[in-house]
Amino acid sequence: MPHFEDFYAAKLRGSLGVTDAESVLDLRGTNRATAEASLKDMLERSRFAKGKTVAIRLDPPPEGGGETLFQPAGRLLLDAKRRGLIERLQTLPSQDGLGFYVALTGRAERTPL
C-alpha cells in the first residue's frame, strides 16, 4: 500500500480545513443571535452567487465546560443542507479548532434558450 504525505492523506480522508476553504467566517467571540444572523446571511447571499467553500470558526467550550455555538450552528447548517443550499458539511479537523467546513451550492447555472 502506498504511503502519502500527511497533507495528501488528510485530503483523501476528507479532513478539509481552514486552509482549504475559499473564505472564512469567524464567529469566535460572538453571541448566539449574532452568529445565527451571520450564518443566515451567508446562506441567503450564497443563493445568488456561484458556489464556494467556507470555513466557519467557533469558540471552544469555556474552561470547566459550558455551552458553545456548535450545536445551534450545526442545526442551522444541517437544515440548509437538507434544503439543498449546502453540498458538503463536515467538522473542521482538530488542528483548526471548533467549527465547520461547508461547500455552498450557489446559484444554479442557467442554460441559454
Q: Is residue 5 part of a domain?
A: no
Q: Is residue 44 part of a domain?
A: yes
pLDDT at 20: 86
Residue 86 belongs to what domain range? 15-104
Q: Is residue 57 part of a domain?
A: yes
Our count of domains for the chain comes to: 1
Identify the residue whose cell numbers are 439543498: 84
Q: Is residue 112 part of a domain?
A: no
Where does 1-113 have alpha helices with state H? 6-13, 32-46, 70-82
C-alpha dihedral (54, 59, 65, 68), degrees to nearest 10: -60
pLDDT at 73: 96
Whichever domain contains 86, its CATH number is 3.30.1370
Q: Is residue 10 part of a domain?
A: no
Q: Between the ranges 80-84, 89-93, 107-111, where is the mean pLDDT highest?
A: 80-84
Q: Is residue 2 part of a domain?
A: no
Contact 97, 19 (CB under 8 A): no
Give the residue-averaged pLDDT of 71-87. Answer: 96
Q: What is the pLDDT of residues 13-30, one digit of tens each?
A: 656 788 889 999 999 999
Question: Sign of dihedral through CA atoms 71, 74, 76, 78?
Answer: negative
Confidence class for position 11, pLDDT limits 50, 70, 90? low
Q: What pairs with residue 23 in β-bridges?
A: 54
Look at residue 69 and give its three-state secondary structure.
Answer: coil
Q: Is residue 8 part of a domain?
A: no
Q: Is residue 111 part of a domain?
A: no
Measured CA distances, 68 to 35, 57, 75, 88, 98 (Å): 11, 12, 13, 22, 10
**pTM of the entire structure?**
0.81
